[in-house]
Structure 1
Amino acid sequence: MNATEEASSAHFTVDKQNISLWTPETLPKQGPNLVLRQPLTVRVVLICLSLTLATSVVLQVILYPWLMGTLSDVKTDAQVLKSRVDNISTLGSKVLKNSKGMEAAGSQIQMLHVSLDQVNSHISTLRNSVDKANAQIQNLTRSWKEVDSLNSQIPELKRDFDKANTLHAKVQGLQSSLENISKLLKEQNDVLQMVSQGWKYFRENFYYFSHTPKTWYSAQQFCVSRNSNLASVTSEAEQEFLYKTADGRPHWIGLTKTGSEGNWSWVDGTPFNSVQSKRFWIPGEPNNLGNNEHCGNIKVSSLKSWNDDSCDSKLLFICKLPHQSYDTTAHINP
């Protein structure tokens, strides 16, 4: 069977919205109305198919360039997007680097905040110090004003000070005079007290001229019991005072020697001046008569009045007490 025969033997059935195609063998049983409407239905279907194909062709002719342009634009946009994506990737790496930099910057900022806090603390401390310094400056200013006031008073104070120095010098002079007077009064009191007890005063020394004869050693013991010694002679004036007061009566003095060949010495420890003493010996003395004259005395009323004699001879004697060694225990009963 060719195509023409197949086309003539084909049958269509249109039932509302359903279209069916049967072969002659399968053709359903049709009523009288359905057979009449088949040519019209076929035409409609063909028309619809023709319109559909025509519409599809028209749409393809019209839409194809647009679709191709659209596809080209999409490709272009895709390339642009790809380049942008690449740029975004590059920017992402930069952003990552920048984020790390930002983290480092954040840590530095935190360190800066800490430093700023420390700086603020230092600034606060400095402000406190400045406030204290200002307070001290104010105090110093007030003190300086007081100093200026005192400086203005300095000339007057200096005059007063000079007056005070003058008065002080006068007071010291008066005090020295009073001390000297007190010393003189004490000396006079000592002299009066000693004189009242039989002592004589000559050039800072007290002398006691005994009334009872004694041997030289007994006389020395007597003087020692009165805090004194037999008299030593250290000057011509003292020698003159002694021989004049002795009035020509022999008196033991503190002159002695050890053995016949010994040197003369003073019993109170005063150094013996042999050169000076030559002026005080009686001519021809000391002669150590009988090899037993080991003690010295004032024998006559003359500058040359010394004589050596036996220490066992009983003579009057002279005790000597320096005023600086004065002691109220050195009393002598007349």
Structure 2
Amino acid sequence: MKTAESEVPDAHFTVDKQNISLWPREPPPKTGSSLVLRKMCTVRAAVILLTLVLLASVLLQAVFYPWFMSALSDGKTNAQLLKARVANISSLSSEIKRNRGGVEAAGVQVQMVNASLGRVHSYIRRLETSVKEANARIQILTKSWEDVDNLNTRIPELKRDLDKASVLNEKVRGLQSSLENIRKSLKQQNDIIQMVSQGWKYFRGNFYYFSRVSKTWYSAEQFCTYRDSHLTSVTSESEQEFLYKTAGGLIHWIGLTKAGSEGTWKWVDDTPFDKVLSRRFWIPGEPNNYGHNEHCTNLKMPSLQSWNDAPCDTGFLFICKRPYKPSEP
């Protein structure tokens, strides 16, 4: 028996993927019993291997299944969180779009504020310059306080001098007024002398020219007009007296006329006609419009009542009247 067992060779096998190879240490003798034994060993080894694989698979499932399920749950949670974040991002995007207009308006306002700040800064700089100038003036005024104090002490004296000066000014103004009146009087006298030298006579602010040739009333008025005057008007008893006395009893045309037989009397120099005053100057019974052709007036008598109406185309001496106008200096 021992000899037989010692002669049986030891079996060896290798596993390469799913193939199982068995070989003896030494090549076995090629007998029928050996082949059967070899197949049984191969089947046994395969069963053992499959058992080991199943055990390994069960162990792997027992170990990795909880981890896999946990990982899957975490993935779902992360997916939900990611979805919520995406929704938040979408809402934030729409909010950003809505606020974009407000941001642009705020940008415009910021620009306006910046411009206003620029103007304020410029104004502040001008104020600073003004303050510097004011400080310089204050320093000058401060230096002048001593002079002001000196002037304050001299105010009573200056006031007395001012009073004296005021009195002197009044006297000077009085003298100036007197000198001006004298100047005007001398100038008037000079004007009067010049007019008198030309044949005019002066009476109470008017010059009168007593002609030496006879003319019709219209020709006489034309003569006076050429000399910046008119046939004389009469506005007072003193003027009437001056005229008839200077006329010396000779008939002279004056500037009183009327239009038509029923017309009203008027002065040719547009002086208002005073009917009440004129009644004192007509000769009694005049004006009578004799022959319905006496439309002009003359001085006929050497008396206060000396006016007479006569035909305008009759030739008489005449009197021109010209108001005094100061000549140019």
Q: Same fold (TM over 0.5)?
A: yes
Inter-partner Cα distance in structure 1 for 2:206 and 2:242: 12
Amino acid at match of 2:306: S
**Residue aligning to 1:291:** 292
What's the counterpart of residue 255 of structure 2? 254
Cα separation, partners in 2 of 1:158 and 1:312, compared to 1, 3 Å:
same
Look up the SS of the partner of 2:281 in the other structure.
Answer: coil
Q: State how far apart, in whole Å, the 1-side matches of 2:326 and 2:184 are.
A: 15
Per the alignment, residue 221 of structure 1 pairs with: 222
The structural deviation recorded for 1:145 is 2.3
Which residue matches 1:156? 157
CA separation in 2, counterparts of 1:238 and 1:132?
A: 75
Q: Output the amino acid matched with 1:226.
A: R
Q: What does residue 280 of structure 1 align with?
A: 281
Partner Cα distance (1:258, 1:194) in 2:
33
1:311 aligned partner, one-letter code: C
- Name the amino acid aligned to 1:200: K
- Number of residue pairs the alignment of both structures matches: 200
Superposed CA deviations along residues 102-158 of structure 1, whole A, max 9, x for unmatched, are xxxxxxxxxxxxxxxxxxxxxxxxxxx999998766544432222121111222222
Aligned-residue Cα RMSD (Å) equals: 2.5
CA 1:236–1:326 in structure 2 vs 1: closer, same or farther (change >3 Å)?
Answer: farther
Please give the secondary structure, in 2, of the residue aligned with 1:283.
coil
Mapped to 1, the partners of 2:241 and 2:140 lie a distance apart of 80
Q: CA deviation at 1:248?
A: 0.9
**Matches of 1:181 and 1:134, distance apart in 2:** 57
SS in 2 for 1:268: coil
What's 1:240 paired with?
A: 241
Q: Which residue of 2 aligns with 1:198?
A: 199
The residue identity in structure 2 corresponding to 1:235 is: S
CA shift at 1:179, angstroms? 1.2
**Structure 2: which 5+ residue stretches go unaligned?**
1-129
Paired residues for 1:11-90 under 5 Å: none
User: Which residue number corresponds to residue 146 of structure 2?
Assistant: 145
How far does residue 221 in structure 1 lie from its aligned partner after superposition? Answer: 0.4
Return the letter of the residue paired with 1:214.
K
- The answer to whether the aligner puts 1:310 opposite 2:317 as a matched pair is no
Code of the aligned partner of 2:305: K
Summarize the Cα distance change of 1:132–1:247 in structure 2 as closer, same or farther, 3 Å threshold. closer
Structure 1 pair 148–287 and aligned structure 2 pair: CA distance change class (3 A): same
Q: 1:168 to 1:289 in 2, by over 3 A?
A: same
Task: Quote the Cα distance in structure 1 between the aligned partners of 2:327 and 2:134.
Answer: 70
Shift of 1:162: 1.9
For residue 302 of structure 1, report the CA deviation from its aligned partner: 0.5
* SS class of match (1:319): strand
For residues 188 and 270 of structure 1, what CA distance do their matches in structure 2 show?
Answer: 26
Q: Which has the larger radius of gyration?
A: 1
- Shift of residue 281 of structure 1? 0.5
Write the distance in 2 (CA, Å) between the matches of 1:318 and 1:238.
13
4+ aligned runs moved over 4 Å, structure 1:
129-139
- Superposition deviation, residue 196 in structure 1: 1.1
Aligned mates of 1:187, 1:273 — CA distance in 2: 30
> What is the CA–CA distance in structure 1 between the aligned matches of 2:317 and 2:254, rounded to whole Å?
9
Contact 2:209–2:320 (CA<8 Å) still a contact in 1? Answer: yes
CA gap 1:158/1:260 in 2 versus in 1, 3 angstroms: same
* 5+ residue gaps, structure 1: 1-128, 328-334
**Residue identity matched to 2:230:** N
Indicate how the Cα distance of structure 1 residues 151 and 311 shifts in structure 2: closer, same or farther if over 3 A, else same: same
SS in 2 for 1:164: helix
1:113 counterpart residue number: none
After superposition, give the CA deviation of every residue in 1:148-195 in whole Å (9 maximum; x if it has no partner). 211112222222222222222222211111111111111111111111
The change in CA–CA distance for 1:320 and 1:177 in structure 2 (over 3 A counts) is same
Q: 1-side partners of 2:326 and 2:133: how far apart? A: 69
Q: What letter corresponds to residue 241 of structure 2 in structure 1?
A: E
Q: TM-score, normalised by structure 1?
A: 0.56
Distance change in 2, residues 1:259/1:251 (3 Å): same
Question: Which amino acid is 1:192 matched to?
Answer: I
Q: Residue 180 of structure 2 corresponds to which residue in structure 1? A: 179
Corresponding residue number in structure 1 for 2:322: 321
Q: Which amino acid aligns with 2:239?
A: E
Distance 1:177 1:218 in 2: 45
The 2-side partners of 1:238 and 1:294 are apart by: 22
> Does the residue aligned with 1:272 lie in a helix, a strand or coil?
coil
